[in-house]
């Protein structure tokens, strides 16, 4: 029999707040974290808005001399991990270190610094490149620094699968615990790519919202007038533990990670398919040993792209069946945080745990004119009280990669 996997701690840094409670308070109130870009001069760009982390002080978590060695996505991972480890009351003595792993998904990594040093080498030559350039930008250094901070000497890697990176990292980490290769895994996702290159690149694809005059209303999944996603940044971290180990140390168990499913569209680099998301959800439901009707809440991928939102709702209806789909609650918290790319699933898993604890479905904000093709309850604009015993999280990425997680109240 496979070992059970539970969640004992969570932490986050994101556009709504630099800690869990600030974030959750704003989610409950339906506050948007989207604003005009301050990280660079976006004048002249078709998109001038993003979900930036605000007032983040890395010196609260990292020694001053070390900060310059890290891209900001790494700093976010360290901060969110600290909050999660404290909540879990996790101590890692030397003898436990080999049984503790880290798996933090990152979609792109240190793109702003890659852009910056590309300019430096062109204008000033190779002698001006920082010796920290490579380790500050490569994606796996989020996991690397967290493992060093806590003496986690077990599995240490990063999954990079675009916007599915977090869910793959979390699900694969659960598998590692299930087969007995770890007792604890520090998992989730981190991303910080808000730069002229990223905004310009996604803008060239016509993937981003251009609602620059009303940033807080720009991200509007399921609304008839949605015009693309809003780029966000931040991190969401979970502490996963083998159930018996968590019990043995008296840890407070927040939820059980009971299902994980994955698939590939094998169809197109950016266009969604129905079959891929459907297969990932079906696999997760089977892995959790539940029926579709057992699912109370789904934190959807829901990026506010015209085709993607409806495609996911159709897949949900097919995966759950009509009767279950008519009673399930769905929401896209990206309407408030923007899309964290590789960090999205980590943050959304954190929010699912909070939703289960407080019996409250987060809202999808900015729905002024519901798309008539939305035939599932997407929790428009206002959070709703509801007992949540089983919840699902979907993440789908460029390249046709899909990953679904299922959490149970325990």
pLDDT above 90 (res 290): yes
Rounded Cα gap, residues 395 and 410, in angstroms: 24
* Closest by Cα among 136, 159, 160 to 72: 136
CB 140 within 8 A of CB 342: no
Q: What is the pLDDT of residues 73-108, one digit of tens each?
A: 999 999 999 999 999 999 999 999 999 999 999 999
* Closest by Cα among 34, 50, 32, 28 to 379: 28
User: What percent of the chain lies above the pLDDT cut of 70?
Assistant: 100
Sign (positive or negative) of CA dihedral 354, 323, 282, 106:
negative
Strands (E), 37-77: 49-50
CB 408 within 8 A of CB 390: yes
| Per-residue confidence band for 58, with pLDDT thresholds at 50, 70 and 90 | very high
Rounded Cα gap, residues 242 and 244, in angstroms: 6
The predicted structure's pLDDT at residue 272: 84
Rounded Cα gap, residues 392 and 231, in angstroms: 23
Q: What is the pLDDT of residues 390-407, one digit of tens each?
A: 999 999 999 999 999 999
Rounded Cα gap, residues 245 and 352, in angstroms: 23
Give all domains of the chain, ordered by start, each with its CATH number: 1-399 (3.40.47.10)
Catalytic amino acids?
A: 163, 301, 339
Q: What is the pLDDT of residues 316-340, one digit of tens each?
A: 999 999 999 999 999 999 999 999 9
pLDDT above 90 (res 1): no
User: What percent of the chain lies above the pLDDT cut of 90?
Assistant: 98
pTM, full prediction: 0.97
pLDDT above 90 (res 369): yes
| 291-300 average pLDDT score | 97
Locate all alpha helices (DSSP H) within 7-71, ordered by sequence.
20-29, 64-67
SS3 content of the chain, % helix, strand, coil (to 5): 40, 20, 40
For the chain, what is the mean pLDDT? 97
The predicted structure's pLDDT at residue 112: 97
């Amino acid at each position: 029999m496979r070992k059970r996997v539970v969640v004992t701690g969570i932490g986050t840094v994101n556009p709504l707040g630099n800690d869990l409670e600030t974030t959750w308070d704003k989610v409950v109130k339906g506050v948007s974290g989207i604003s005009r870009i301050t990280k660079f001069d976006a004048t002249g760009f078709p998109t001038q808005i993003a979900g930036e982390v605000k007032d983040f002080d890395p010196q609260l978590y990292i020694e001053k001399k070390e900060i310059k060695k890290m891209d900001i996505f790494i700093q976010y991972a360290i901060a969110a991990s600290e909050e999660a480890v404290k909540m879990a009351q996790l101590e890692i003595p030397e003898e436990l270190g080999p049984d503790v792993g880290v798996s933090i998904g990152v979609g792109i990594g240190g793109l702003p610094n890659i852009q910056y040093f590309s300019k430096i080498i062109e204008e000033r030559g190779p002698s001006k490149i920082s010796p920290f350039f490579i380790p500050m930008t490569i994606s796996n250094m989020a996991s690397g620094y967290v493992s060093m901070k806590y003496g986690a000497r077990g599995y240490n890697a990063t999954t990079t699968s675009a916007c599915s990176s977090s869910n793959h990292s979390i699900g694969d980490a659960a598998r590692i615990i299930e087969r007995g290769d770890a007792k604890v895994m520090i998992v989730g996702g981190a991303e910080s790519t808000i730069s002229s290159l990223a905004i310009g690149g996604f803008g060239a694809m016509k993937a981003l919202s251009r609602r620059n005059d009303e940033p807080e209303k720009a991200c509007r999944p399921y609304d008839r007038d949605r015009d693309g996603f809003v780029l966000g940044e931040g991190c969401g971290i979970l502490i996963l533990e083998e159930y018996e180990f968590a019990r043995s140390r008296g840890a407070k168990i927040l939820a059980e990670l009971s299902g994980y499913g994955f698939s590939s569209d094998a169809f197109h680099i950016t266009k969604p398919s129905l079959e891929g998301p459907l297969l990932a959800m079906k696999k997760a439901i089977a892995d959790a040993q539940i029926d579709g009707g057992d699912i109370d809440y789904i934190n959807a991928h829901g990026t506010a792209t015209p085709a993607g939102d409806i495609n996911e709702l159709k897949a949900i209806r097919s995966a759950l069946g009509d009767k279950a789909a008519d009673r399930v609650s769905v929401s896209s918290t990206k309407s408030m945080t923007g899309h964290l790319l590789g960090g999205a699933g980590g943050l959304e898993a954190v929010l699912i745990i909070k939703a289960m604890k407080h019996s409250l479905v987060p809202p999808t904000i900015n729905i002024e004119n519901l798309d008539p093709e939305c035939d599932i309850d997407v929790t428009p604009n206002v959070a709703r009280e509801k007992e949540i015993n089983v919840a699902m999280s979907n993440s789908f990425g460029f390249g046709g990669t899909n990953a679904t997680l299922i959490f149970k109240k325990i």
